[in-house]
Every structure is written in C-alpha cells, then in structure tokens.
Amino acid sequence: MKFTISAPGKIILMGEHAVVYGKPAIVAAVDKRMTVNLVGKNGKWEITAKSDIPIGCGLGSSAALAVIQATALVAIQATTVGRIDTKLPLINEVAYEIEKINHGHPSGVDNTICTYGGILWFKRKGDGPPIFKRLQLKNLPELVLINTGKAKETTREMVENVKCQMLNGKTKWEILKLFDQIEKQTNNFLKALRQNNSQLLKSSFRICERNLEKLGVVGELAKNIVRKIEKRGGVAKISGAGGLTGGSGMLLCYHPNPQQIIDLAKKLRLESFRVKLGEEGLRIDE
C-alpha cells in the first residue's frame, strides 16, 4: 500500500481567540503545504515528510499535521483510500481530537480549514459540531504576511492565558465585551470583502488588532511593527494565537501598495511574502 497525503497551511483572517468562545471566524487555506509519503510493506510503514509551512508562527503547521495523521489512520483502517470527499467529516473529527491533545481547548477552526480548504466562515457553539460554510469571494485584496518570529509561549499557553482571564470575575465581562467587538469586526471584514470596500477593510483590521492587544495576546515587537505599517498608510493584525515574549507569529498586513509592506519588512530584516488565499484543502493520492 502506498499513498501521499498533503494538507495546506492556514491563516485566520479575523476572529482569533473569540472563536474559542462561540464567536465566528473567517479563515483561509494558503499556498503552503505539508506533504507526507507512506509506503506500507510486510506490516511496516516507511514515512517521509516535507513541509514549507513555517512552524510556530500561526500558519497551522500543527493542524496540517493533525489532518494528515487523521487521514493516515482512516486510510490504513480502510485498507484503501477510496473517495476522500466522503471521509472528510470523520477525518476532521479525528484531527480535532489530535489538536485537543496538542493545544488543550482549541476551537477546531484550524483543522477544519486544513481539511476542507478554501475560505470558510466558522463557528462552534459549546461541545457540539462546528458550523461552517464555504465563502465564494471575488477580487480579494492582496495581503502580505510578515513573520515577527516564533513566540516563546505555545498556542496552548496563549489560549490558557485568555481562559484564566475568563475565569477571573474581575476581568470576565471586559473580555466578553472584547469578544463582542471582535465579532463585530469579523462581520465588517466579511462585508468589506464582499463589497470590495478598502476603507471598511482597513477599519476592521485596525479595530480588531487593538482588541487583541487589549486581550493581552500581542507582544511589544509586533505592536511596534503594526504602528510602523499604520504610519505608512497600511494596517496589520496578528493572525492566530499571538505571543508576548519574542515574536507574535505572523502579522497579516494590507496596504493599497503591497510593496510598501515588503520594503518595510526588508528594512526591519524580517521575512515577508505575499499570500494566496482559498487554496485546496486535504489531498490524497494512491
């Protein structure tokens, strides 16, 4: 038995952290992938892997791996791959269980986008199954990612940090208000994409980033870069769990002239790249 499994990285466009508590998020599969080759013979498996998804920067490397692991388990149990589209719900469910082992209390948005691909509106209420729908969007703005560096805190630690604030009676209601604001900006962001409204897009970016800063998930390094981008007429926000010590992972950036972002990143000696959204999800070949 021989097959190749690949899954994309992802970027949360809007709604991170709030999505863990039942608010919607908009997430996209990106043009970076993890690929694993499996060759089974005489009850043993030879596994080789390669990936161009940066690790620990909010692009979903752990979710892509979880989806690949789940797919391998399903395929091996079935002894034949068959039609992968009929197995996606099971694969996504297994991948979510793997993500819970890795991150404690994730929303499931990462493994879902790495499974299904495209651009999704996603929401999970309580312990029930997620609700998500594929978004058909045209004339998407050109976005740039800046890698601020890997945070010393893990995703689990950042999620737990927010959870502790939720459990604290003094801060709970402030956090809930921030989640409401993030939800509002998620809705505005989607409206901006559908209407090709650059001003509303920039406003939703700016307000969401400030709310994430108030939530305590954005480090000083990332904040300083965001302010530099804003002074140049652009906007930026963290994407994913964030981080306080060292970097905060990826900054999602928008500017009418994307080269302005790339030039700034080069000046700051940081990695940057244009990103394609809505890429293919899980792929498996026998």
Specify the pLDDT at position 82: 61
Q: Give the angle subtended at the CA of 187 by the CAs of 104 and 255, to the nearest 5°.
A: 95
Helix axes 220-231, 258-267, angle to 10 degrees: 130
Please tell me what DSSP assigns to residue 42.
Answer: T
The sign of the dihedral angle between the CA atoms of 262, 266, 267, 268 is positive
Contact 270, 147 (CB under 8 A): yes
Specify the pLDDT at position 80: 57
Average pLDDT over residues 249-258: 97
Between strands 25-41 and 44-51, the pairing is antiparallel
Q: What is the rounded CA–CA span in Å between residue 195 and residue 137?
A: 10
Asked which of 24-33, 154-163, 260-269 is least confident by mean pLDDT, the reply is: 154-163
Summarised one tens digit per residue, pLDDT across range 34-44 is: 999 988 888 78
Summarised one tens digit per residue, pLDDT across range 185-230 is: 999 999 999 999 999 999 999 999 999 999 999 999 999 999 999 9
Residue of 162 and 169 predicted with greater confidence = 162
Structure tokens at 117: 């691909």
CB count in 10 Å sphere of residue 133: 9
Please tell me what DSSP assigns to residue 166.
Answer: H
Evaluate if residue 22 carries a pLDDT over 70.
yes
Contact 183, 24 (CB under 8 A): yes
Domains in the chain, start-ordered, CATH in brackets?
Answer: 2-138+277-285 (3.30.230.10), 143-275 (3.30.70.890)
Note if the pTM is more than 0.85.
yes
Specify the pLDDT at position 110: 95
Sort 261 into a burial class: Cβ within 10 Å, 0-12 / 13-18 / 19+: buried
Q: Give the angle subtended at the CA of 251 by the CAs of 26 and 117, to the nearest 5°.
A: 35
Summarised one tens digit per residue, pLDDT across range 48-97 is: 999 999 888 889 999 999 999 999 988 877 655 566 778 899 999 999 99
CB count in 10 Å sphere of residue 164: 10
Q: Which residue has the tokens 């002894």?
A: 79
